[in-house]
Structure 1
């Protein structure tokens, strides 16, 4: 198959969009970062999240999902490490809920590299998207894709990830949204920490 047909592209984008916006560690962290630190820090973090998620798409295209299926122990080990990483993030967020609020990072580039790399690390901490991408790709594109088609598919997935994560970062970092966050910061941070911690535990214990 040389090209991606429009109906296939629409199906892929719709399914991927629903998966991105379903509450999970990445989208919860993106929202909380936008609330707490403003657009200057949230946008690089969101772009890192999108890049990290798209890497699982790339790995699925290269056959990593097949490796996971052939070696369930490797998948389980990566899930445990990913779950522990989410629990560590949840602990930090829980403790930060009572700490003085840092100033918003509004200057271009302030903390951008660290935020971008943090976003990549967060989305790479969960190997499940590799299986999701593999399943999605096989269901939408049952016939093998040529290299040009694979490149187009990756570009489409990356664009979709970038659009939604950037949109969340921008919308949630507006002044009205942040003022509401400041009024209930303790409870919002604790709720986000609990949700991320629960997802970390589920990542560890689920088979």
Structure 2
């Protein structure tokens, strides 16, 4: 029998929804992929981003944040590696900004299901966010069924958000605007993700 209540789950969903709406590399990346590739090819990337984000909830439920507290260097190492990965992704966006649009029959580097998952796994800070939210909303002791229900909720919210965003950004009007300003949009997206990566490396 579940210990968590419907009110707790509702509060969790509301808190998560607000947090997801804050600008981050996932939002920038899925928007840019939907602009460039359209809905059908952006959706797997969006689902990878959603799964990657939700895995930090699973990590928090399984106690990864305890490891960060006991061995702070592990969090520092993950932040550095994640930041370096984001900077690499940003460099690829910046460098390929002048390139023509990809052929729909070809795969675009990094914009796959696994590329999306890797991008959102590159930032360990959501593990701390999820840990704080879980501790503030739910009982300290959770059964396996409770943890499964919480993770399923987080995954559902992440999937719903990224799917909706990919579909919205792939609308013909927005895509036409992207075609007209591809160079500057790609450069702007690369710069934003690069700055996020650097802040992850440099911020204590």
User: TM-score, normalised to structure 1's length?
Assistant: 0.93
Where does residue 169 of structure 1 map in the other structure?
166
Give the Cα–Cα distance (whole angstroms) in 2 for the partners of residues 105 and 4 of structure 1: 46
Q: 132, 137, 141: which one pairs with 2:134?
A: 137
User: Which residue of the partner structure matches residue 59 of structure 1?
Assistant: 59
List gaps (5 residues or longer) in structure 1: none
Equivalence for 2:13: 13
Deviation per residue, 1:56-77 (Å, 9 max, x gap): 1111111001101111111101
* Equivalence for 2:4: 4
Partner deviation per Cα, 1:11-59 (whole Å, 9 max, x = no partner) = 1111111121211001110100000111122100000011111111111
Summarize the alignment of residues 10-49 of structure 1 with structure 2, pairs less than 5 Å apart: 10-49=10-49
Q: Does residue 88 in structure 1 map to residue 85 in structure 2?
A: no
- Are 1:192 and 2:193 counterparts? no
TM-score normalised by length of structure 2: 0.94
* Inter-partner Cα distance in structure 1 for 2:68 and 2:37: 37
Aligned equivalents of 1:73, 1:8: Cα separation in 2: 33
Runs of 4+ in 1 over 4 A off after TM superposition: none
Match of 1:127 in 2: 124
Deviation at 1:81, TM superposition (A): 0.6
Deviation at 1:175, TM superposition (A): 1.1
Asked if the contact 1:25/1:199 (under 8 Å) is kept, the reply is: yes
C-alpha change, 1:41 and 1:105, in structure 2 (3 Å) is farther
Secondary structure at the counterpart of residue 34 of structure 1: helix
Q: Which residue of 2 aligns with 1:160?
A: 157
- Tell me if structure 1 keeps the 8 A contact 2:33–2:111: no
Distance 1:48 1:62 in 2: 21
- What count of residue pairs does the alignment treat as equivalent? 203
Measure, in 1, the Cα distance between the counterparts of 2:85 and 2:156.
27
The CA RMSD measured in Å over matched residues stands at 1.7
Tell me the secondary structure at the aligned position of residue 103 of structure 2.
Answer: coil
Q: 2 CA distance for matches of 1:105 and 1:54?
A: 30
